[in-house]
Structure 1
Amino acid sequence: MGTVIGGGTPSKKVSKYWNGNIPWISPKDLSNHPNVFTSRGENSITQNGLDNSSTKLLPQKTVLFSSRAPIGYISIANNEITTNQGFKSVIPDKNYPFWFIYELLKSETPKIINEANGSTFKEISGSKLKQHTISIPTSVEVMKYNSVFLPIFEKIQ
């Protein structure tokens, strides 16, 4: 269905990692602007920041899913973007459209929250999210609906 990718934060002590042209978001950015599509947040990083941290450059149409503080903010990357460690984002496989992953995660969020751990605040790990069991239709069945749902998401975008 997709590849789960975690995020990271370049060191805030190194100024040459920040204020570049690569969008970088945290869950706070989605709480302030809860849109279906996200292009950027309050901060951006440089190529140096990307190269020297655990954050990854995610492709357009990656489904961004906050995995802590809180769990369940969801948005679709409108362009290439990076995230902090508060995300477990899903890069959709070619057989499952981004809109399907987005809607599926929205419906599964309450169950995912129930599977989360943590005493200070709940968090769902990447390995735990990868083990989350759901019943999904075949990719052939999903693609039947693509002609209906894709135009809706394109209009929203």
Structure 2
Amino acid sequence: LFKSWFVDFDPVRAKAEGRDPALPKHLADLFPDAFQDSELGQIPKGWEVKCIEDVVSCVGGSTPSTKNPEYWEGGTIHWTTPKDLSGRSAPVLIDTERKITPKGLRKIPSGLLPAGTLLLSSRAPVGYLAIAQIPVAVNQGYIAIPPRGELSPMWMLFWADRNMDRIKARAGGTTFQEISKRNFRAMRLIAPACCAARAFDKMAAPIFERIVKCVLESRTVAALRDALLPKLISGELRVKDAIRFLERSSL
């Protein structure tokens, strides 16, 4: 859907050629019926080429001193590094390996970011993507996009995925590649009419919610497996008892 609407401009192209855009009228009406020239080529009439910094807020993070136990011991605040996104099959963050304390949080200029924030790893490596399902603080390995811009983190997730080669091409560094917030903010994109972007968000949200639900269920099943399997192997728990437990858990 994202590619059709915002990359190939299929509804606009169909209307410009006098064809049926194959959309309900309330959606078809969100798209113009002509193109205009721009620095990025032809784009739908009325849409604009903008810098990322003009449509979303981009922030980074930091690491509280690991030498100060007051920042870490007993911490309950989620704090993420790109390692938390390694190996994930879905662009979702539901937990973090490490937690910090309120004192540790005060050492991070961007503070606690709200659930719904898009996370883009900016180094080691460049390119991990996830939308946080929890309030989270970030380290210096991220560019974070909170949900308070003209374009939503959901929309930017799909844009970043489609444009990852461009993002990586702007990275630099000798020891490891890194894209700075400054270079990322300066990137140009085709900003659609707000009504079209909001319509996409509304259609994509239920699908993304199902993905989140599947990730949570998979995590629960994995936790049960890790808890029950050693007991089954050792004989501490019988198979029929494990089955009864799973039935009570509705799994």
* TM-score, normalised by the number of residues in structure 1: 0.92
1:66 & 1:84 partners in 2: Cα distance?
Answer: 10
| Structure 2: 5+ residue stretches without partners | 1-54, 213-251
| Structure 1: 5+ residue stretches without partners | none
How much has 1:95 moved relative to structure 2? 4.2
Equivalent of residue 26 in structure 1, options 71, 81, 89: 81
Query: Given residue 77 of structure 2, which amino acid in structure 1 is its aligned partner?
Result: I
Query: Given residue 154 of structure 2, which amino acid in structure 1 is its aligned partner?
Result: W
2:205 & 2:88 partners in 1: Cα distance?
Answer: 22
Structural RMSD (CA) = 1.6
2:188 corresponds in structure 1 to: 133
Q: What secondary structure is seen at the aligned counterpart in 1 of 2:103?
A: helix
Q: What secondary structure is seen at the aligned counterpart in 1 of 2:57?
A: strand
* TM-score, normalised by the number of residues in structure 2: 0.59
How much has 1:26 moved relative to structure 2? 0.6
Equivalent of residue 3 in structure 1, options 57, 72, 86: 57
User: Where do 1:107-126 residues align within 5 Å?
Assistant: 107-126=162-181
How much has 1:135 moved relative to structure 2? 1.5
User: Where do 1:14-93 residues align within 5 Å?
Assistant: 14-18=68-72, 19-54=74-109, 56-93=111-148
Query: Given residue 204 of structure 2, which amino acid in structure 1 is its aligned partner?
Result: F
How much has 1:133 moved relative to structure 2? 1.0
2:89 & 2:120 partners in 1: Cα distance?
Answer: 12
User: More strand per residue: 1 or 2?
Assistant: 1
How much has 1:154 moved relative to structure 2? 1.4
1:88 & 1:107 partners in 2: Cα distance?
Answer: 17
Contact 1:55 1:85 survives alignment (8 Å): no
Larger deviation, residues 41-50 vs 102-111: 102-111
Q: What secondary structure is seen at the aligned counterpart in 2 of 1:156?
A: helix
Identity of aligned residues (%): 34
Contact 2:61 2:108 survives alignment (8 Å): no
Greater RCO (Cα-Cα under 8 Å, separation 6 or more):
1
Contact 1:92 1:101 survives alignment (8 Å): no
Q: What secondary structure is seen at the aligned counterpart in 2 of 1:24?
A: strand
Structure 1 7/34 Cα, relative in aligned 2: closer, same or farther at 3 Å? farther
